[in-house]
Amino acid sequence: MEALAWPAAAGACIGKVGESLMSILLPTLFAFNTFIYALLGAFMYFIWREDRAGEFRFWSLAFFLNSGALLVYAVSDLAAIPPVLAGALNLWGVGALWAGIRVFVEKPISRVAAIAGGAIWILAFSDVSLLIRIDGRVTIAAAYAFSIAYELYSYNKERLTIARATAALSAFHGCFMALMGIYAQFVTVDTPMKSVYDSPIAKFMAAEGMSHGIVLGFMLLALSKVRATARQKIAALTDPLTGLGNRRAFDLAAERAIEKSRGAETLVLLVFDLDRFKMINDRFGHAEGDRVLRRFADVAARNTKAAGGVLARVGGEEFAALLICEPSTGLSTAERIRCDFAEEAATLADGLATVSAGVAAMQDRTAGLAALMRAADEALYMAKAAGRNRVFLSPDAARVASRATRNRYDDMLPPLTAA
């Protein structure tokens, strides 16, 4: 009995609030919110027609269904419409809302799961007592609410703060539904009710549900807008062919790395240029040239990631990578990329696809990225002039590297020379 004391006390508190809501004319409130929900549904429909964002198709349907549910609730006493129809429309609307969330987080949807709530409601709760109906309603609604909260909370692609806020709102709604289900166990109905509106718990659920729906609608609009803005920013910093960062993204990342490495760390820049790329495009077509670019991007990204660096496509056939390491490590990374690419691209463009690279190290932080890029370009030009398909170390980087390390590379790779 003591274990049941807290839900009984909570139920008494909720009951008092519910009694105060008895003065609210719910049919009027339902009618007003019917218009608000329909307006939100129409707004989301036009957004879907304009942008073809799949989630808005489901969200528009969700608000139209809930608008219909509220309309049925508003006129059910006057037109003798069974409230179970309104409950089914509402739960189908919630199912459509959940489906839209699944589309938003880029997961497959289940149409069976989306319509299951309303179908279960009709099949299992059409001819039961009010309290059992409430239990069924809150159980289904809470399941959808918690599922929506989970999907949004676990969505980390753009790391949207508003997604977490929307997840918290849905979780709160789910908890409220669960609390109503617990409270319903402590409600005693002495006489038959003329209307569902005679139940304080029904009024309390209606007020919270309508408020939650309106707030959720505006949060979904904001959520989609914030993600669209985030994706536009990402697109502005991404090379569409290779998926790597572009020159602007590389400059921003390099500036952050320079600022972050104020100390003993050495910044090493690797600049790559695909050999005979114009010839490949002229002889084999731009489609083959694109395959060569994508193959090199894959090879370079794999090796750069292993070295903890930043890679970008900074020009037509030119790529750059920035590492925090010793010049000898940067040299070995560039050489590994060159060898791997020569092996993996052997079947492309009759084996003409190779790459040359220049490696430079930053010693003077006041010189900035431009000076480092000039030094790496100088080494790259030397590699090109020496016959292509090789890696050269800039004079400044060669002076920084230890003599033992340079000798080791000179012994292993005769074409590799410190300019």
Residue 400, pLDDT score: 56
Residue 414, pLDDT score: 39
Longest dimension (CA), the chain: 98
Q: For residue range 71-125, what is the model confidence (pLDDT) as tens digits?
A: 888 887 666 677 788 889 999 999 999 999 999 999 999 999 999 999 998 888 8
Q: Give the chain's end-to-end CA distance (angstroms, integer).
A: 87
Q: What is the mean pLDDT of the chain?
A: 82
Low-confidence stretches of the chain (pLDDT beneath 70): 1-26, 77-80, 187-202, 261-265, 363-367, 396-419
Look at the domain 2-235 and name its fold.
Rhopdopsin 7-helix transmembrane proteins (1.20.1070)
Domain with CATH 1.20.1070 in the chain: 2-235
CB-count exposure of residue 306 (10 Å: 0-12, 13-18, 19+): exposed
Three-class SS of 362-405:
ECCCCCHHHHHHHHHHHHHHHHHHCCCCCEEECHHHHHHCCHHH
pTM exceeding 0.85: no
Give me the residue label for tokens 């037109």.
Answer: 79
Residue 259, pLDDT score: 76
Distances (CA, A) of 241 to 57, 221, 245, 322: 30, 31, 10, 21
Q: For residue range 283-306, what is the model confidence (pLDDT) as tens digits?
A: 999 999 999 999 999 999 999 987
Instruction: Kindly report the CATH number that applies to the domain delimited by 247-418.
Output: 3.30.70.270
Q: Which tokens is 286 given? A: 């731009």
Residue 366, pLDDT score: 64
Domain with CATH 3.30.70.270 in the chain: 247-418
| DSSP β-bridge partners for residue 320 | 271, 312
